[in-house]
């Protein structure tokens, strides 16, 4: 190559590099955000999902995008993190949106309502159905962008001081129960109480409440409920697959470069899968330990399940008549659920039922 041509080519390359370097730098700004959770640090599954998310965002950006995580109460109380993200007090929140049904019952649909989807079906609805699109249309009205950030899988029915054998036994029971399910149980005479996770044990111990539900064996063991309530019921029909979400202040999210937005989505998706896997892996051993400690495992009777389903349908009908967003999204969710169970009964349920029946033989 002639000297003059070499210098010309090299000059073009250097000029391109000079343009590219600032462009790369501009797309990787140094940011420090704050993220508040609805969970105490002692719950390494729930709060662990927050830490996993922040860790992957930092690593994917060579520590240029750092998210400092805070447990419930460190910046705001656990049940106020949505408001804090919405008004810009913090950039992000990690929470269960059914806590905010008092603001609008539509929030509950994106987390869990009674007799809704299981965890895998929720992921299908969000990622390949209309779920996440519908949620962001709704959360956008509240200055928030939503990402799926975890799932506890099907939960337990809670801890009771006395046996619950009939529908009548629910009357007058003061129970800590999260989210929209309390509206269903109110129809059957139960008195729901909204209490943050870290405050449940003292209330149960003092007798301020008669029963409490949280998640399942692994978390419930950590919270010590077996020490103050003997009967452990299943299934948690109000939380067949409760999804947790990362809620991001809209103006802050919209100010991010596209690659940072993509990294947030990828980190949230990993956290979602990891949390679900951790619960599946850790619950069996915890259940065995709880039984060894004297816990009495009890199923809800068929009569109770049927009565709760009837009451839940009534709540949905009443709410849909008054709330257009709830009606629209519930219809979409129920249609998706019906198709999912059409498929589930063919393969998943048949396979799992066979394996459960033959578990001891193998």
Q: What is the pLDDT of residues 222-273, one digit of tens each?
A: 999 999 999 999 999 999 999 999 999 999 999 999 999 999 999 999 999 9
Q: Check residue 25 and give its pLDDT.
A: 54
Number of structural domains in the chain: 1
Query: If we measure between CA atoms, which residue out of 157, 283, 286 comes closest to residue 229?
Result: 157
CA distance 334 to 317: 13
Residue 224 lies inside a defined structural domain of this protein: no
**Average pLDDT of the segment spanning 138-154:** 98
Residue 298 lies inside a defined structural domain of this protein: no
* pLDDT confidence bin for 319, thresholds 50/70/90: very high
Residue 342 lies inside a defined structural domain of this protein: no
Does 155 have pLDDT greater than 50? yes
* pLDDT confidence bin for 194, thresholds 50/70/90: confident
**Average pLDDT of the segment spanning 335-341:** 97
Q: Strand 296-299 to strand 231-234: parallel, antiparallel, or no bridges (unpaired)?
A: parallel
CA distance 49 to 273: 10
Question: 């103050």: which residue's tokens?
Answer: 228
Does 58 have pLDDT greater than 70? yes
Q: Check residue 23 and give its pLDDT.
A: 52
**Average pLDDT of the segment spanning 158-186:** 95
**Average pLDDT of the segment spanning 302-306:** 98
Residue 346 lies inside a defined structural domain of this protein: no
Residue 119 lies inside a defined structural domain of this protein: yes
Residue 212 lies inside a defined structural domain of this protein: no
Structure-token pair, residue 171: 């009357």
Q: Check residue 27 and give its pLDDT.
A: 73
Does 18 have pLDDT greater than 90? no
CA distance 71 to 73: 6
Does 66 have pLDDT greater than 80? yes
Query: In this predicted structure, which of 112-126, 138-152, 155-169, 176-190 has the lowest mean pLDDT?
Result: 176-190
Q: Check residue 360 and give its pLDDT.
A: 77
Q: Check residue 179 and give its pLDDT.
A: 79
Q: Check residue 10 and give its pLDDT.
A: 43
**Length of the chain as a residue count:** 362
Residue 351 lies inside a defined structural domain of this protein: no
Residue 304 lies inside a defined structural domain of this protein: no
Structure-token pair, residue 283: 């619950």
Q: Strand 158-160 to strand 211-212: parallel, antiparallel, or no bridges (unpaired)?
A: antiparallel
Kindly report the pTM of this predicted structure. 0.90
Backbone angles phi, psi at 92, to 5 degrees: -145, 155
Containing domain of residue 253, as a range?
30-153+241-281
Q: Check residue 196 and give its pLDDT.
A: 83
CA distance 250 to 66: 18
Q: Check residue 121 and give its pLDDT.
A: 98
The share of the chain scoring above pLDDT 70, in percent, equals 93
Regarding predicted confidence, which is higher, 361 or 170? 170
CATH number at residue 61: 3.40.190.170
């Amino acid at each position: 190559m002639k000297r003059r041509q070499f210098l010309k080519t090299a000059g073009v390359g250097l000029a391109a590099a000079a343009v590219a370097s600032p462009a790369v730098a501009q797309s990787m700004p140094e940011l420090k955000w704050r993220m508040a959770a609805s969970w105490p640090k002692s719950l390494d599954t729930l709060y662990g999902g927050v830490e996993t998310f922040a860790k992957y965002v930092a690593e994917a950006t060579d520590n240029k995008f750092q998210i400092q995580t805070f447990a419930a109460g460190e910046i705001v109380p656990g049940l106020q993190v949505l408001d804090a993200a919405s008004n810009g007090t913090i950039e992000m929140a990690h929470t269960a949106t059914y806590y905010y049904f008092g603001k609008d019952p539509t929030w509950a649909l994106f987390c869990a309502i009674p007799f809704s989807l299981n965890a895998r079906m929720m992921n299908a609805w969000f990622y390949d159905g209309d779920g996440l699109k519908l949620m962001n249309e709704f959360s956008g009205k509240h200055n928030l962008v939503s990402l799926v950030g975890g799932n506890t899988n099907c939960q337990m029915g809670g801890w009771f001081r006395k046996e619950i054998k009939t529908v009548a036994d629910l009357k007058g029971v003061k129970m800590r129960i999260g989210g929209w399910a309390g509206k269903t149980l109110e129809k059957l005479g139960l008195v729901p109480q909204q209490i943050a996770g870290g405050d449940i044990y003292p209330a149960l111990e003092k007798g301020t409440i008669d029963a409490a539900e949280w998640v399942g064996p692994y978390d419930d063991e950590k919270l010590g409920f077996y020490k103050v309530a003997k009967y452990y019921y299943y299934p948690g029909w109000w939380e067949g697959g409760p999804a947790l979400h990362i809620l991001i202040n809209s103006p802050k999210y919209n100010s991010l470069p596209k690659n940072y937005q993509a990294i947030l989505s990828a980190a949230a998706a990993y956290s979602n899968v990891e949390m679900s896997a951790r619960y599946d892996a850790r619950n069996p051993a915890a259940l065995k330990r709880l039984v060894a400690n004297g816990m009495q495992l009890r199923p809800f009777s068929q009569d109770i399940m049927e009565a709760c389903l009837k009451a839940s349908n009534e709540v949905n009908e009443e709410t849909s008549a008054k709330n257009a967003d709830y009606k629209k999204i519930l219809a979409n969710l129920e249609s998706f659920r019906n198709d999912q169970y059409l498929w589930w009964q063919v393969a998943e349920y048949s396979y799992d039922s066979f394996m459960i029946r033959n578990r001891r033989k193998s």
